[in-house]
Amino acid sequence: MRDSEFDFIRSLVYERSRINLGPDKRQLVSARLGKRLRATNVASLGDYCALLQSPGAEEELSHLIDAISTNHTFFFREIAHFDFMRTVAIPEMLERSRIERWSRLRLWSAASSSGEEAYSMAITLAGHCGNFPWQIEATDISHRILAKAAAAIYPAETVDRLAPDLVRTYFQRGYGPQEGKYRVKPALRERVSFHHLNLLEGQPPSTEPFQIIFCRNVMIYFDRPTQEELVERLARRLVPGGYLFVGHSESLTHLRHGLQVVRPAIYRKPANS
Ligand SMILES: C[S@@+](CC[C@H](N)C(=O)[O-])C[C@H]1O[C@@H](n2cnc3c(N)ncnc32)[C@H](O)[C@@H]1O
């Protein structure tokens, strides 16, 4: 890959997603773009860069971001967050709902990837909210991964790692052509809505604030000013006293932010803000 090609792709990806590709990512970019070259039938990276600049390249730009971004995720990733939700955040928010007369709890899985995070949040809420209404919004920049998330079909080997009673309660086993897969049951699926969103550009569709936001394992791809901007955007969407969960490798220690530290990778918007 030529310097000029890498620089072009790098600035385009930054402009579109704010993903910051350092020089160490050159090999990775080249490997991931191989797939796009084959899909678009172009002969070289130079031709691919030209294609990205041509009129009507919008769809390919979205494939480019898809190819570059990392979608790795799994159910109940960083389990301590779900334990905290179950033991602290949910009971506290239910108590506040009673006092402050909230009609429901709203949670946001920001950068949800293929949905495992949002459905893990949903399973935790379903088990600990009783009859109190709740809803989850889940967003990601990748159209492809959002389609997967909305379908909610997962390989058996990823679901079989969960406790058997959770699998029985929240998943349907596939038969025939769906053998070896599970689908999240409709009762849970209908509480989770997926939307396309670039976290640095827009906001989730509804303007109602959230009690809890998960924004995990995406900030590592951004530079520091972008991380600060993102934390500020997320904090604006929390109720006072609401919780922000970030990935365990994404401490906000070196960032300017107005949140309180609760536990490693768990932050809270001050109650009086
Ligand atoms: C590694 S996954 C994290 C999934 C999940 N939050 C977790 O922790 O398991 C990162 C996700 O961030 C998404 N992403 C990257 N840049 C984004 C942006 N600017 N806005 C929204 N999503 C973005 C990617 O498409 C990818 O699905």
239 Cα: distance to centroid of ligand 1 (angstroms): 23
User: What are the pLDDT digits (tens) for 158-168?
Assistant: 999 999 999 99
111 Cα: distance to centroid of ligand 1 (angstroms): 4
CA neighbours closer than 13 Å in the CB half-sphere of residue 129: 23
Show the tokens assigned to 196.
């396309």
Mutation probe of ligand 1 site: the residue of 218, 219, 244 with most atoms within 8 A of C-beta: 218
Average pLDDT over residues 90-103: 97
190 Cα: distance to centroid of ligand 1 (angstroms): 22
Distance CA 11, CA 234 (A): 25
Mutation probe of ligand 1 site: the residue of 119, 141, 158, 266 with most atoms within 8 A of C-beta: 141
* Residue 147 exposed, middle or buried by CB count within 10 Å (0-12, 13-18, 19+): exposed
Strands 192-196 vs 134-140: parallel, antiparallel or unpaired: parallel
The model's pTM is: 0.96
Q: How far is CA 79 from CA 48, 74, 104, 164, 213, in A?
A: 41, 11, 24, 17, 16
User: What are the pLDDT digits (tens) for 27-51?
Assistant: 999 999 999 999 999 999 999 999 9
- Is the CB of residue 45 less than 8 Å from the CB of residue 1? yes
Residues with CB under 6 A from ligand 1: 17-19, 69-73, 77, 111, 113, 117, 140-142, 145, 197-200, 216-218, 221, 247
Average pLDDT over residues 253-259: 94
